[in-house]
Amino acid sequence: MSTYADRLADFCVTLTAESLPKPVLHQAELSAMDFVGVVLAGGVTPVAEFVTGYARAQGGAGEATLFGHHDRVPAPLAGLVNGARAHSIELDDHEAHMRSKVHSGAVVFPAAWAAAERRGAVTGLEFLAAVVIGYEVIGRLSAATSYPDFLGKKKGFHTTPLFGSFASAATAGRLLGLTSEQLSNAFGICGSMASGLQETVAAGAMVKPFHAGWAAHNGLIAAQLASRGMTGPRSIFEGRKGFYRAFCGEGEYDLSVIDRDFGAEYDISLTMYKPYACGGGIHPALTAIDDLRGRHDIDADNVERVVVRTSQTVVDMFVTPREAKYSPVSGPQAQHSLPYAAATLLVDGAALLDQFTNEAVARPHVRALAQRIDVEVDPGIHSDDPEDEPASVTILLADGRELTSSVRGGRGSLAVPMSDAELIDKYRRLATPYLGEATATVQERMLNLTTAPNVADVPGSLVRHG
**Domain boundary residue among 355, 373, 407?**
407
Cβ 111 vs Cβ 138: under 8 Å: no
Cβ 206 vs Cβ 330: under 8 Å: no
- Rounded to whole angstroms, the Cα distance separating 389 from 401 reads 27
242 and 314: one domain? no
The answer to whether residue 462 is domain-embedded is no
238 and 367: one domain? no
The answer to whether residue 73 is domain-embedded is yes
The answer to whether residue 63 is domain-embedded is yes
- Rounded to whole angstroms, the Cα distance separating 415 from 397 reads 29
The whole-number average pLDDT for the span 32-53 is 95
Segment 65-98, tens digit of pLDDT: 999 988 999 999 999 999 999 999 999 999 987 7
Residues contacting residue 388 through CB under 8 Å, at least 6 positions apart: 96, 97, 98, 272, 409, 410, 413, 414, 415
CATH number of residue 240's parent domain: 1.10.4100.10
Other C-beta atoms closer than 10 Å to the C-beta of 421 total: 8
268 and 395: one domain? no
192 and 292: one domain? no
Per-residue DSSP letters for 376-427?
A: EE-TT---S-TTSS-EEEEEEETTS-EEEEEESS-BTSSSBPPPHHHHHHHH
DSSP letter assigned to residue 145: B
Evaluate the omega torsion of the peptide bond into residue 321 and state whether it is cis, within 30 degrees of 0.
yes
Q: Which helix (H) or strand (E) holds 234?
A: none
109 and 219: one domain? yes
310 and 258: one domain? no
pLDDT level of residue 345 (50, 70, 90 thresholds)? very high
The answer to whether residue 416 is domain-embedded is no
Give the rounded distance of the alpha carbon of 186 from its chain centre. Answer: 23
pLDDT level of residue 99 (50, 70, 90 thresholds)? confident
310 and 393: one domain? yes
267 and 388: one domain? no
Cβ 223 vs Cβ 183: under 8 Å: yes
* Measured CA distances, 279 to 266, 319, 332, 333 (Å): 24, 12, 10, 10
DSSP letter assigned to residue 55: H
pLDDT level of residue 235 (50, 70, 90 thresholds)? very high
| Highest mean pLDDT: which range of 42-46, 83-87, 461-465 | 83-87
Per-residue burial over 178-204, b if 16 or more Cβ lie within 10 Å, else e, is: bebebbbbbbbbbbebbebbbebbeeb
Q: At residue 466, does pLDDT exceed 60?
A: no
**Domain boundary residue among 272, 297, 322?**
272
Other C-beta atoms closer than 10 Å to the C-beta of 238 total: 16
The whole-number average pLDDT for the span 237-241 is 97
- Rounded to whole angstroms, the Cα distance separating 101 from 98 reads 8
CATH number of residue 344's parent domain: 3.30.1330.120
- Rounded to whole angstroms, the Cα distance separating 333 from 151 reads 21
Phi, psi of 415 (to 5 degrees): -75, -35
Per-residue burial over 303-339, b if 16 or more Cβ lie within 10 Å, else e, is: beebbbbbbebbbebbbeeeebbbbbebbbbbbbbbb
Specify whether the backbone of 436 is left (phi greater than 0), alpha (psi in -120 to 50) or beta. Answer: left
Q: What is the pTM of this model?
A: 0.93
Task: Identify the CA nearest to 439 among candidates 451, 449, 450, 426.
Answer: 426
Task: Identify the CA nearest to 320 among candidates 274, 277, 377.
Answer: 377
State the chain's mean pLDDT as an integer.
Answer: 95
State the residue range of the domain holding 368: 280-407
The answer to whether residue 447 is domain-embedded is no
Give the β-pairing of 373-377 and 303-310.
Answer: parallel
238 and 386: one domain? no
Segment 415-457, tens digit of pLDDT: 899 999 999 999 999 999 999 999 999 999 999 999 999 999 9
Per-residue burial over 355-367, b if 16 or more Cβ lie within 10 Å, else e, is: bbeeebbeeeebb
Total domains in the chain come to: 2
Q: At residue 189, does pLDDT exceed 90?
A: yes
The answer to whether residue 369 is domain-embedded is yes
Cβ 219 vs Cβ 190: under 8 Å: yes
Identity of the amino acid at 423: L
Cβ 142 vs Cβ 100: under 8 Å: yes
Segment 366-421, tens digit of pLDDT: 999 999 999 999 998 876 666 678 999 999 999 999 999 999 999 999 989 999 99
- Rounded to whole angstroms, the Cα distance separating 151 from 83 reads 21
- Rounded to whole angstroms, the Cα distance separating 466 from 464 reads 6
Q: Which helix (H) or strand (E) holds 54?
A: helix 46-58
- Rounded to whole angstroms, the Cα distance separating 147 from 313 reads 13
Q: What is the pLDDT of residue 465?
A: 64
Residue 72, strand partner residues:
65
- Rounded to whole angstroms, the Cα distance separating 383 from 376 reads 15
Task: Identify the CA nearest to 391 among candidates 286, 272, 256.
Answer: 286
The whole-number average pLDDT for the span 153-164 is 93
Q: What is the pLDDT of residue 97?
A: 77
Q: What is the pLDDT of residue 208?
A: 94
